[in-house]
Structure 1
Amino acid sequence: MASFLNKRIKLKHYQHALSLVFAIHETNNNPRLLNNITLGMYAYDNLFDPKTTYETILDLLSAQEKNIPNYRCDAKNVWSVIGGLTVENSLQMADILNNYKIPQFIYGSFEDTIRDKPNLPFMYWMGPRESTHQMGLVQLLLHFKWTWIGLLVSDDDKGENFARKLIPLFAQNSICLAFWQRNSASHYDLSNPSVERILKLMGTILSTDVTVIIVSMDTDLIFTVIFLLEKKIELLKSYFGKVWIMPPQWYLSISHRGELIGTNIFHGALSFSTHTYFVPEFQEFLHHFKYDSALMHFFCLFWQGAFKHCKHCREEKLDELPEIIFEIDMSGESYSIYNAVYAVSHALHGMHLTRQRAMWAKGNFDLLNIHPWQLHPFLKNIRFNNGAGQEVVFENGGFPTGYDIINWVTFPNHSFLKNKVGEISPSQTFSINEEAIEWHRTLKQVCICVAWLSTSPPFPGADMHSQTGEILLQCKEGSLTMFYCALGYLGFLSSISFTLAFLARKLPDAFNEDAALCVKCPEDQYPNENKDQCIPKTISFLSYQEPLGIVSTVSTISLSLITCFVMQTFLKNWDTPIVKANNQSLTCILLISILICYLATLLFLGKPEKVICLLQQPIFLIFFSVAVSCVLAKTIIVVLAFMSTKPASQMKKGLGKKLGSSVVVSCSLVQVCICIAWLSTSPPFPGADMHSQTGEILLQCKQGSLTMFNCALGYLGFLSSLSFTVAFLARKLPDAFNEGKFITFSMLVFCSVWISFIPAYLSTTGKNVVVVEIFAILASNTGLLACIFLPKCYVIIFRADLNSRMCLKEKRKHST
């Protein structure tokens, strides 16, 4: 029995090395990364042994693997090191690598306390935090209301640290431990005294009423425990299913016959796996992968273990292996290695571009002369897209990632399915899909009934139904008379309790027991669905990257370009009658105001800042007032021009630039004074809305003084109403190129937009408030532009024959 246990090979860990080969192959074939530079690799197996780890690192840093202390003769060109899988291996490697300031990428999970150590400045963490896993366990238990559990950990520092951090979290959330046991089995020797403790554990697992068991042990120790548990189940010929919550990096083991170990036991188990994205090119790479002579020594043992009966192993294909031997989907750890290679490649690429700019005159861009420590400034906060299209952002020397919650489904033919049923993010936001979970087939929750002793007692019934994957064995009532008596007495007690609670509802909180049990969440957190835990809110604002922001930006730029085109058209035809007839200077000011109002909408996008909030509303209000004042001035000029029909009329003297300029300046100056008073008393400022959206903190610009803001809007409404009234009265005045009708339509659109804006603004919340305001600005602006200027542009571009003095005289004669 011990012999075949010793021969087991961890085949699945070889995917880590294959993902490294794949990532280097992909980056070397990327024409936008490291032109004329080819990345290489060294692959070592430390066998999870500290002594081998130190020897391996020294071999890596020494030429021809001659380890000479304090000397580096013909050292290898090592720019970074990826490893290890465990915290212990990572620290052992860092003991040597830190002396050379070589970047080290850790692709396993890590402890927060280790990351914050000042003596480890050259380590980059690609895996998730252990605290994220621990909080995910607690949230998973609370979600299903599992408060009576068992805990199995390894008998070493790792297992003790795991229990030391997790048990206080259980106590804080009223989760009780039915049993807690540390286990060890050296080299899977079944004659070892520690196995006796495991055998006692078998009895505990099979006899306890605990349904949920959390495991924190390595895969080999789990293999020993499950192997013995299966033997025990075969003797008893019965097993009530459990919910096993397995550790990260765990996978189903296989026996010497190639069969899954624990197929019956682990059906429906849950585990946490490092979050990963699907990389389709990886499967194609595995399909065509054939190791060469350089990789033969590393992959030879793997190839022989995977393809037991092959004579020419290089002809075999990895994607033809059964899933119990080798999975072709990239695991979480492999995905972390994949991202680490891309991080190094982009850092080298950034250094190459920096050197290229600095040494352009010399023409020397030798990337091989760099030192590993020179990569750190580029790695600290690097941002890039990997080959899978996912954006990878380093924050404080690492890539923050979370865990996927995996549901393991096994089948009688010794195959299995890993089904993602939930996740926990780096910010510890928890989500799970209960309907997607497949529970153990024999999982039972027995209903224990307390029966009355007289007459007929309750008896087990045959009604069984599924309840969250558990079979609930119900109890029949026995004597209906006694059953109804018991229900009646329960109703009597409930009535008394309700009456007393109603009378005591207004007592101070110091005497209210329920008040002591409820705690209000802080403003930056919100309660979960069960109302038993506070979850941090996410920060939200209308950004340029989201769909609404993109649509707003594209619309603003497009309409601004159209305005520029109209302005250019009028400037090219500056001396033509249709431009002169309606006051050229007012037309130019109006177009500039419309353009600035369009561009002002860009201030409403992005993260609110102090300067942006100060400029956002005042710029929009002032230039909108200028635009409406120009419209009012043009309308007044049209009316006065019609009234001054006699050559000696005194009104004709008031026409011209002075009248238009005075109207625009006087009307706009009022709005400017209102905005100055607003900014000097209580200006807008960046703030956060904590309450309008559940689970979100909305960053937005607060108006400061609502009174001043409403005054500015009210004055703009007054100007618009006045312009609309004057334009409406002048709409039928007979004159060539009369703008009265066009201005009437434009002000009708303008006023309609802002009248409908008020209820829409008051009825929306969150980011939609900003979207409504942007839409109102764009729509009203477009109404002015389209109704006033498009008819003139049509005449200028397509009917140039109408844009002449002769046509103007004929129109005047006809109108007279």
Structure 2
Amino acid sequence: MLPNMTLGFEIYISHYVETDLLENPLIVLSGRNKNSPNYSCRREGKAVAVLTGSSSTSAPIGTLLDLYKFPQFTFGSFDPVLSNQEQFSAVYQMASKDSALALGMVSLMLHFHWTWVGLFITQEDYGMWFLSELREETGKNGICLAFEHMITYNAIPNFSNDALAHQKIMESSTNVIIIYGDIEFLLSFILKLGDFLITGKVWVMNSPYDDVTLSKRYFLLDSFHAPLFFSHHHGNISDFTSFIPTSNYSKNSEDIFFPKLWIRAIRCILIKSDCTKLGHCLYNATLDWLLGHIFDTAMSEESYNIYNAVYAVAHALHKMLLHHTEEPPVDNEQARTFLSSQLHPFLQRIQFTNPVGEPVVLNEERKLEAEYDIVNFWNFPEGLGQRVKVGKFCPAKRQLILFENLIEWPVGITETPQSVCCENCGPGFRKAPREGKDPCCFDCAPCPENEISNATDMEQCVRCSDHQFSNTKRNHCLLKAESFLAYEDSLGMALACMALCFSAFTAGVLGVFIKHQDTPIVKANNQTLSYILLISLTCCFLCSLLFLGRPHTATCILQQTTFAVVFTVAVSTVLAKTMTVVLAFTVTAPGRRTRQLLVSRAPNLIIPICTLIQVTLCGIWLGTSPPFVDTDAHSEYGHIIILCNMGSIIAFYCVLGYLGSLALASFTVAFLARNLPDTFNEAKFLTFSMLVFCTVWLTFLPVYQSTKGKVMVAVEVFSILASSAGLLGCIFAPKCYIILIRPERNSLHRLRERSQSQRNKP
């Protein structure tokens, strides 16, 4: 490229004072040491491009140079403001876009579980742009900013502002602090805050700050020890690395770079008569003597941008010269003169591969997202000054790779530091936000019953499914055990034994009555109805067994219907016996209708009629909404109750209500006939038996409604057994006593004597 042509350069120091900032650009445009706007006093050729550093100087200079369409290359950090082509059409930013820097830093925070971080940021426009990007990424990933402190870059120290920044750091509980700004901002910030002793903080930066070490003295404790910074990934230029060690200085050297470097590095004495020469220093020394933190032979990020900018100018000039060479010459044409503004069409289309082998594109729309190297600055012991690559971040793949064993943490930290507002909520707890605080500041609340959290820092507890329940630590769901009144349970076994014993005892009473069926006491109490009552009571005792064991569809249907029908038969039999007694004592003259009813045994018709009504009600119940097997997973902790659902609760209470009305009618009739005189009158016994029956079932209703699970079933079984036993004991116990123990009273002669004695009583 560029045969017979050499690129030269001029260096101008940018002023920090805003009023003098445009002085040097005007000199570039007007001529050396001249400041005449719109006039060129140069005799030699003009410069074709300008290279500028930080955005704080690039933006004002760019506004001026854009008037002349003078190409400007910025080698500092990428600034979104300079991307405005309407305002800065002549500006080309060599740095890669930092659009993924916020994502990379947040990925680093997530890797180490740092959710509570501080931020110092420049107040320039690009700082505000980065802040919005960082807020968006932190909001997505649950990271909170403990503080956001904006600082305006100022070369002049301001103790009050520096003390305020130091106070922010010391008062905050965060252990990780992000610093974002250009090189000048970082140098100024670190040099100022370095006067305060700050330990135990992890610093994350967007650019390396190697030059800071040139001004530092050797202290054991360093406030900015072992920072992590994100640097744009680029290859190493081997020619530069091999050139530096071969450069040396001599006593008569006119290059002032080497003496100044040695003065700052090893504090040599400068000879006053000649400021470019050294006094008490070795001669013919090379730069490879210097420590790595004083002069790093690896090309820095800004130097790499300058390198690419020079090559971009060279490529554009080369293409422009080729383009004009290919044009046909004009007769008597003088030598062509080129204007810097003519480079723009070629710069805008420039795309080449630099000697490192990496693509260089000036068009921002075609630029690729930069990859970042994560570098750790080793400087312990003080003076080591070694930059170590400990990882990288690839935005395209959203991939973070870290080698944690290479990271050197700040002094006083022996393991990976933590930076959270609150301690993590372990399994069994959930995060309860604090009112008016950041989401990262929370309390740990235990999970409610039957809910769990099996991970750290869960926002909400998860409810266990219906067939599971939470353990005592609320961090795991366990399978619920099935619960029903089984025969193997002690309660179920006791009820089953009671049912079998009572049914056997009832069968024994029936056998006694059949054996002594010719005795007066059996004949006097309507032996047919007694047989029916005893058989129905036996069935009542046995039907309670349907409520035991694991419920099935058949048992669920038979439970209530069988219970309702057999108890209807028993109660209607008691009513028939009572009506028989009443009719027997109201007969005073033969031929009366009452006597005909008694002789024809009409009261016995009460049993089939009442039973038929109950069977009809049960049939309607089964036809509309029959009982079915159901589960209850909520009433009993840790258990799934297997139960029989009534289907239609209205039908169930109708059946139960009908049975209760029969019992009430029987009790009323028996109560009215309790004082009728006769030796074997059982009206009193019937009254007492129905009183027991009604008391049991009136007590059953509220208890049944207030219990759940197997206890509810046990209550119903116990009520069946108690009411049946009440009927059996109150009605038949006195008769069995006379038949078996006092047989002398079970005779016709004894019956006449007792009847005569009752008539003679006043």
TM-score (norm 2): 0.49
Q: Which has the higher helix share?
A: 1
Q: Decide which structure has the larger Cα Rg and report it.
A: 2
